[in-house]
Structure 1
Amino acid sequence: MQTRTLGRTGPVTSALGLGAMGMSGVYGPADRAESIATVHAALEAGVTLIDTGDFYGMGHNELLLAEALRGRDRDGYTLSVKFGMLRGPGGEFGGPDGRPEAVKNFLAYSLTRLGTDHIDIYRPGRLDPAVPIEDTVGAIKEMIDAGYVRYLGLSEVDAATIRRAHAVHPVADLQIEYSLISRAVEAEVLPTLRELGIGLTAYGVLGRGLISGHWTPGRTADPGDSRAFNPRFSNGNVEHNLALVEALRWVAEAKGCTVAQLAIAWVAAQGEDIVPLVGARTRERLAEALPAMELSLTTDDLAEIEKAVPPGSARGDRYPPAFMSGLGVGN
């Protein structure tokens, strides 16, 4: 497994990361034993960056990872944890909480659930509009100084917020959606990250499965699958978006790889400062993703990919309307 450094001040991690969110019911039921086996398989393949959130399954994801990582060398993996999204007992979202006292409270619970004495990269899951980012980051800086956190991260914020946060404490990386069908970061956010020496961990590289090559026309989301409410999977939009996937499939076949591998490799090819996260819930999907890091895309390959899926060609927002207002950038 190749490695990459997250920005000028961040850690060295595997060039591909594992996103664990899907192991906690976001895309419908997940098999616990298979989820744990997938984490083990990722570590054995050299994947060292594991991403979670304290609000994934209301703590379920952290407890699952604690079980999967038990007995492993703590220096052998990098834990990236998002915090601050309030949840209700029915699973409903209550908005972000970035108050300094809340930061420390969330961290205490995460450390306990994960069974560790420190978190490698700690980041607010979304910007709290009621709390200056300087206050939220200041609290994380205190936890870094105290040894409970190693690096500061951000998630889904705009360029101005990145600058304000970075002025308080160096930001290791920004986690944000970036894929062939979600390229809004390229306008202002990515140039700002590169100017300041901040890395990018890209989630949604397969568009929540939409551009994996495995989603088919007429397929409906399983019970509990959040994609049932995602505009890009809605009737009318999904057919258009899957036509883009079919155009991409021709490029993948000519390259001798799968659509998913090509989509992941495209993100990785956008810069050595970018680490794609794959949300594999099974060893089978992980095994398909891993060879993407060995794909070498030429200038001609990249041109063919762009021809198949031009910027802005996807239909539908990347989140339902209620969640779009909390994003630093759009689609």
Structure 2
Amino acid sequence: MAASVRRIKLGTQGLEVSAQGLGCMGMSAFYGPPKSEEEMIPLIHHAINCGITFLDTSDVYGPHTNEILIGKALKGGWREKVELATKFGVKFSDGKGSVHGDPAYVRAACEGSLKRLDMDCIDLYYQHRIDTKVPIEITMGELKKLVEEGKIKYIGLSEASASTIRRAHAVHPISAVQLEWSLWTRDVEKDIIPTCRELGIGIVAYSPLGRGFLSTGPKITEKFSEADYRQHFPRFKPENVEHNKHIFERVCEIAARKGCTPAQLALAWVHHQGDDVCPIPGTTKIENLNQNIGALSVKLSPEDMAGLETLASDDSVKGDRYGGLSPSWMNSETPPLSSWKPE
């Protein structure tokens, strides 16, 4: 099965990853109660053995427990087989998120992640969300130092605006930008994707299955536990689900014609965006992981792509992605460098 997962280059700095990654968040946080190490470590090993070697975590997943899980899973020779991405910048307190990008925080966060992962170097280190109080040049300056010190190999940004990406890239090359991209989230196609391509930056698509909606449809909302953050997102509110279900129904119809599952079709659509795009669907079940890998062999014609894009245009989905979360949660700008006054 490993041969079916091709390799791609992310950015122009030398980072090479499996064309599909594994998002590890749901193993520990946000989508219900955390799963046991006894279940998740074999899943991670199965993914690696199948050729899914690009693992995605963050210090805020848990918080901290997902990095610890990944660190344990990569003991005993597994570390050398993977490209590991983790992130910094988000803290949750009393259910509210805050974002931090000042140099002291960047360094402390990196040291903390290295300790929890029990490793000497992080392959790809993302700023998870953009601190709208700190010029991106200041954050990038500290990240550049961490590269020079050998603590991280490559730098990434997540949910940054096109102008923030440009400013960051001018300080040190960005290897990857992580963003939400799927059949029901397409706003990034206007200027962020073209900016990444102009600058030679790889694109990592999180939630490529629409947080499960494109694989399960409206009935996914019946399975949400009290610990599942998705119940708070506007798109999963009953009145919006009723509207959005037509996208899932059409995906099901096209998938039936193609002889694949709705999830495989939705993932294949992302894969067909280009060889600089790596989706990172998350799962806690081996059968779903195997199904996701199957998406790599689904072939879509230009007519298939056009049909999918017509049914899922940017304005056809009801409900915001995040609702009332922090203003720095999506495609964020930072203040000009001239405004920076370190404390």
> TM-score per shorter chain, which class?
over 0.9
State the match for 2:23 in structure 1. 19
Alpha-carbon offset, residue 215 of structure 1: 4.5
Matches within 5 A, 1:294-309: 294-309=297-312
Counterpart for residue 77 of structure 2: 72
2:234 is aligned to 231
Identify the residue that residue 165 of structure 2 maps to in structure 1: 162
2:127 equivalent in structure 1? 124
Distance 1:123 1:163 in 2: 15
Q: Give the alignment partner of residue 59 of structure 2, picking from 45, 54, 57.
A: 54
Alignment counterpart, residue 142 of structure 2, candidates 139, 142, 150: 139
User: Residues 247 and 309 of structure 1 are in contact (CA less than 8 Å); yes or no, is this contact kept in structure 2?
Assistant: no
Contact 2:59 2:67 in 1 (8 A): yes
Tell me the SS of whatever aligns to 2:254: helix
- Tell me, what secondary structure is at the counterpart of 1:53? coil
Deviation at 1:136, TM superposition (A): 0.6
Q: Where in structure 2 are the equivalents of 1:1-331 lying within 5 Å? A: 1-32=5-36, 33-88=38-93, 90=94, 92-213=95-216, 215-216=218-219, 219-323=222-326, 325-328=328-331
Q: What TM-score does the superposition give when structure 1 sets the normalisation length? A: 0.95
Distance 1:44 1:145 in 2: 32
TM-score (norm. length: structure 2)? 0.92
Distance in 2 (alpha carbons) for counterparts of 1:217 and 1:170:
39
Kept after mapping to 2: 8 A contact 1:62/1:110: yes
Are 2:132 and 2:328, in contact at CA under 8 Å, matched by a contact in 1?
no
User: Aligned partners of 1:300 and 1:324: how far apart in 2?
Assistant: 38
* In 2, Cα distance between equivalents of 1:40 and 1:308: 37
CA-CA distance at 1:118 after TM superposition: 0.3
For structure 2, list consecutive stretches of 5 or more residues without a partner in the other structure: 333-343
2: distance between equivalents of 1:281 and 1:195? 35
Give the Cα–Cα distance (whole angstroms) in 2 for the partners of residues 302 and 197 of structure 1. 24
Mapped contact 2:217–2:245 kept (Cα < 8 A): no
- Three-state SS of the structure 2 residue aligned to 1:4 is strand
Deviations, residues 284-326 of structure 1 (Å, cap 9, x unaligned) = 2111101001111111211222233233211101112224553
Q: Aligned equivalents of 1:73 and 1:223: distance in 2?
A: 34
SS of the equivalent of 1:278 reads coil
The one-letter code sitting in structure 1 at the alignment partner of 2:44 is V
Structure 1 spans left out of the alignment, 5+ residues: none
| Residue aligned with 1:82, SS | strand
In the TM superposition, residue 34 of structure 1 has moved relative to its aligned partner by 2.0
User: Contact conserved, 2:98 with 2:326, CA < 8 A, in 1?
Assistant: no
Identical residues among aligned pairs (%)? 42
Q: C-alpha deviations, 1:83-117, integer Å up to 9, x for none?
A: 011123x5x23411101111110011100100110
Q: What letter corresponds to residue 39 of structure 2 in structure 1?
A: E
Q: Is the 8 A contact 2:186 2:313 kept in 1?
A: no
Q: Distance in 2 between matches of 1:289 and 1:327?
A: 26
Distance change (3 Å), C-alpha of 1:7 and 1:180: same
- Counterpart CA distance in 1 for 2:331 and 2:250 is 30
- Equivalent residue, structure 1, for 2:338: none
Residues 149-169 of structure 1: per-residue CA shift (max 9 Å, x gap): 000100000000000000000
Letter in 1 for 2:13: T
